[in-house]
Structure 1
């Protein structure tokens, strides 16, 4: 953020993109991109990430892995109930299947 504000400030002082790049030791394409974004949007803030947020948190994934490693014979329903009691997450059994498959557990 410091570089961005310095970049914009230097541009407002009528410095060239080459001079700004040399002063801040960053590529000219980066300086040009920041200035273009600032001119178009009036800000250099990044956009929020696209897509829906994941339902299962990293903590929930760790607990899920630990649960499966301890006892391999648990059903997805019982694992979902355990996660609800430990984490407070309301998770469907298909979500449990999907998360387990993504972490490398099959069957």
Structure 2
């Protein structure tokens, strides 16, 4: 029967051989490289001051006029209010007086 459990790591005793500092660095680099190879690869975030060369530029996508912008300009030209000779606008706002606020009692009373 084959044992498939991972080997257990024991605390080194005082009599265990301690590798020299160069060998310790080499082992640490190997372990670090192994963990970095297992880590998911993520794209590097660009610096905020540098433009992303792969960024999509909307100005290049539509060579023609923008329909929403044309609609905005047409609405702005249509909504010009004609001013009468008395200085009051010719368009009157709609206002309906209701009795709702007459029935309310003020808070501070």
Q: TM-score, normalised by structure 2?
A: 0.20
Structure 1 or 2: larger helix share? 1
Q: Which has the larger Rg?
A: 2
Q: Which has the higher contact order (CA 8 A, sep 6+)?
A: 1
